[in-house]
Amino acid sequence: MDAQGKPDPKTKRTWAIEPAAALHKGPSFRDYAELRELIAQRADAFGAGFSKALIEYALGRPCGFSD
């Protein structure tokens, strides 16, 4: 970035992104569409985990019984 926050064309890097991966203790996926399908299949678990992580981030500590 230059002083104005614009990308510097001299330092532009290009590389291929490999989208294939695997969920922790779960299935693997090859691309974004498969990841979305896996999340949609586990919508309740994803929503609960995401909500808990968001609450802990907002509180700045792990959430407990009194929260």
Give the angle subtended at the CA of 20 by the CAs of 19 and 22, to the nearest 5°.
125
| Predicted pLDDT of residue 9 | 75
pLDDT in tens, 31-59: 999 999 999 999 999 999 999 999 999 99
Q: Which residue has the tokens 């990308």?
A: 7
- The mean predicted confidence, pLDDT, of the chain is 88
| Predicted pLDDT of residue 33 | 95
Task: Decide if 27 contacts 41 (C-beta within 8 A).
Answer: no
Task: Decide if 23 contacts 38 (C-beta within 8 A).
Answer: yes
